[in-house]
């Protein structure tokens, strides 16, 4: 071959490989849109986006919403990026990117001081707090020394290893991302199933330690930024915590530092808090929380209040002082709230849902529980929509009771006991002149004599049974959903008591 020809062949430029996927339009989006996308991801996934390209390398540091969840670190739910070694982010890489000024490495002594100052909080739970760091080390060493063929020990080691990874990741991430400057923060450690999992009390304390360090070291105002709020106040608007141990220091931080906080949700938390007060809070949700000495929920701006499950110990009366609430949901075992619940007048109330299922019929009529039911009903008399479940027949005393529900338009009674000759139903119908829709869902009606074949016998209703039972509700529509009761007597009673109520406005639905 001619040397000149060979040189020309070597000099021929290479063909560019055709791009397989086209241009990267996602990375071309502005930071604000990418942050909105990353805010919908769990925290670990958000951090893992740093390997996509140099464009994404530092975006996770300024994400406005963080969702740290232990489920991301469980063996059965780990992210699917493990197939590619380049797409896996180690927790140590985050730690190394933080630098020596991270509070995670220098806060051991100060955090121990915080723990000692909070000894009064944890002392009452000594029966559940018998796990220390030394116990953890010994547990790990003993399990690691066992045979690798032992499935139980391997599961135990794996669960502890998953927890350690979660803890290291959380500590380092919270050092990189300033919680005080976030819009939303969620920390949820979930439930670990099985006896081989880290104890709940241990995990709650560790999560509380992470939160306590953030409260102590996170700077509220970034350098060079105009301070709209007063110095020292957080910008955080939404805070959701799950399975975290909280005390009065947390409550004080909420009221004095989190001046922009609007949504607070606590789930399965252990709370030794005396009061929850805030001038900015709009939504408060307490789900299955173990409360100790909670005596006050006070917020002039609160719009939504949900207390679902849980308990409040030590005979402490819980006073709810929220005049601006528009939605109230109470679904608790009132017997576990030993000091009961007291609510103030709520003039702005629109919708109310209360579950009384835990009241027992074995209580006498003069018992204070019946009084609590009626007091709660009186406090929500301004509602336009009222849902009551499990209401007992002894909610009213023997004396005739008067209470006006002038704004009430929709009334839902679910699984309520109306076997007291419909006295409870009579109370609502006579007290609600503007009622438009009445729904009775699988309620208990008065018993009727039965024939020998077991069929219900409809007894002719005398005029004496209708004495005093009259109401005037224009355009009232009634829906009766029943299973194994005879609703014909109730229909006859309603038609007799309301002169303007027709059969066309009464719907009967039988369910299995």
**Distance, CA of 404 to CA of 80 (rounded, Å):** 59
What is the structure's pLDDT at 307?
Answer: 95
pTM above 0.85, yes or no: no
What is the structure's pLDDT at 275?
Answer: 94
Measuring CA to CA, which residue among 474, 480, 470, 479 is closest to residue 500?
474
Tokens of 44: 């670990």
* Continuous H helices in 145-230: 151-176, 200-217
What residues does 478 pair with on adjacent strands?
Answer: 438, 506
The two most distant CA atoms of the chain are separated, in Å, by 124
**Distance, CA of 328 to CA of 112 (rounded, Å):** 40
What is the structure's pLDDT at 116?
Answer: 39
DSSP secondary structure, 382-403, as one string: T-SEEEEES--TTSS-SS----
Tokens of 93: 């890489």
Class of residue 23 by CB neighbours under 10 A (exposed 0-12, middle 13-18, buried 19+): exposed
**Distance, CA of 327 to CA of 346 (rounded, Å):** 10
The Cα-based distances of 294 to 211, 274, 358 in angstroms read 21, 4, 20
Residue bearing tokens 């005080």: 180
Q: What angle do CA 372, 251, 65 make, to 5 degrees?
A: 110
What is the structure's pLDDT at 330?
Answer: 92
CB atoms within 10 A of CB 129: 16
Going by the DSSP 8-state scheme, the letter that residue 460 receives in this structure is P
Tokens of 74: 């469980």
**Distance, CA of 407 to CA of 429 (rounded, Å):** 13
What is the structure's pLDDT at 464?
Answer: 40
For residues 387 and 353, is the Cβ–Cβ distance under 8 A? Answer: yes
For residues 432 and 407, is the Cβ–Cβ distance under 8 A? Answer: no
Phi, psi of 330 (to 5 degrees): -120, 115
For residues 440 and 413, is the Cβ–Cβ distance under 8 A? Answer: yes
* Continuous H helices in 295-367: none
Phi, psi of 91 (to 5 degrees): -65, -30
Measuring CA to CA, which residue among 137, 111, 197, 115 is closest to residue 162?
197
**Distance, CA of 424 to CA of 426 (rounded, Å):** 5
b/e for 274-298, b at 16 or more Cβ within 10 A? bbbbbebbbbbbbbebbbbbbbbbb
Beta-strand runs (E) in 218-370: 238-242, 245-246, 263-267, 270-271, 275-277, 283-287, 290-292, 296-298, 304-308, 311-313, 318-321, 327-331, 341-343, 351-355
Q: Is the dihedral of CA 45, 50, 55, 60 positive or negative?
A: positive
**Distance, CA of 190 to CA of 244 (rounded, Å):** 9
For residues 376 and 403, is the Cβ–Cβ distance under 8 A? Answer: no
**Distance, CA of 23 to CA of 405 (rounded, Å):** 63
What residues does 188 pair with on adjacent strands?
Answer: 69, 242
For the chain, the distance separating the N- and C-terminal CA atoms, rounded to the nearest angstrom, is 93
Q: What is the mean pLDDT of each run of 10 residues along the chain (512 residues)?
A: 57 53 80 92 92 90 91 60 40 44 39 40 38 37 45 66 85 85 89 61 81 78 50 84 92 91 95 93 95 92 95 86 94 81 88 78 43 79 92 67 85 89 84 91 76 45 47 82 81 76 85 84
**Distance, CA of 433 to CA of 197 (rounded, Å):** 57
């Amino acid at each position: 071959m001619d040397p000149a020809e060979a040189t020309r062949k070597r000099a021929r430029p290479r063909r560019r490989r055709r791009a397989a996927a086209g241009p990267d339009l996602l990375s071309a989006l502005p930071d604000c849109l990418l942050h909105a996308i990353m805010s919908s991801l769990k925290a670990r996934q958000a951090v893992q986006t740093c390997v996509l390209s140099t464009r994404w390398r530092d975006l996770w540091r300024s994400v406005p919403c963080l969702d740290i969840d232990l489920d991301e670190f469980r063996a059965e739910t780990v992210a699917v990026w493990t197939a590619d070694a380049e797409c896996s982010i180690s927790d140590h890489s985050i730690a190394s990117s933080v630098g020596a000024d991270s509070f995670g490495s220098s806060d051991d002594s100060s955090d121990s001081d915080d723990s000692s100052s909070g000894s009064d909080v944890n002392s009452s739970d000594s029966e559940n707090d018998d796990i220390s760091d030394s116990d953890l080390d010994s547990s790990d060493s003993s399990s690691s020394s066992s045979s690798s063929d032992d499935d139980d020990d391997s599961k135990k080691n794996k669960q502890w290893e998953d927890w350690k990874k979660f803890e290291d990741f959380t500590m380092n991430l919270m050092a990189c991302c300033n919680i005080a400057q976030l819009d939303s923060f969620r920390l949820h450690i979930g439930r670990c199933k099985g006896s081989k999992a880290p104890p709940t009390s241990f995990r709650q304390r560790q999560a509380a330690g992470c939160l306590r360090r953030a409260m102590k070291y996170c700077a509220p105002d970034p350098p060079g930024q105009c301070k709209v709020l007063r110095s020292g106040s957080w910008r955080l608007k939404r805070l959701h915590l799950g399975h975290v141990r909280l005390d009065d220091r947390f409550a004080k931080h909420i009221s004095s530092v989190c001046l922009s906080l609007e949504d607070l949700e606590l789930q399965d938390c252990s709370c030794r808090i005396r009061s929850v007060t805030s001038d900015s809070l709009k939504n408060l949700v307490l789900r299955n929380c173990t409360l100790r000495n909670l005596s006050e929920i006070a917020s002039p701006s609160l719009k939504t209040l949900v207390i679902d499950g849980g308990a409040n110990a030590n005979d402490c009366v819980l006073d709810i002082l929220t005049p601006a609430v528009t939605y109230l949901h109470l679904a608790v075992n009132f017997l576990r709230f030993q000091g009961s619940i007291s609510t103030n007048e709520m003039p702005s109330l629109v919708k109310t849902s209360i579950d009384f299922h835990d009241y027992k019929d074995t209580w006498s009529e003069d018992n204070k529980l019946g009084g609590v039911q009626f007091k709660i009903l009186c406090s929500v008399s301004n509602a336009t929509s009222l849902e009551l479940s499990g209401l007992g027949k002894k909610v009213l005393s023997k004396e005739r009771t008067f209470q006006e529900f002038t704004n009430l338009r929709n009334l839902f009674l679910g699984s309520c006991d109306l076997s007291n000759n419909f006295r409870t139903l009579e109370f609502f119908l006579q007290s609600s002149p503007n009622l438009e829709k009445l729904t009775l869902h699988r309620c208990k009606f008065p018993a009727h004599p039965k024939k020998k074949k077991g069929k219900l016998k409809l007894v002719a209703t005398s005029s004496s049974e209708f004495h005093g039972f009259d109401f005037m509700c224009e355009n009232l529509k009634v829906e009766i959903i029943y299973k194994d009761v005879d609703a014909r007597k109730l229909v006859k009673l309603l038609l007799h008591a309301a002169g303007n109520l027709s059969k066309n406005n009464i719907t009967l639905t039988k369910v299995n």
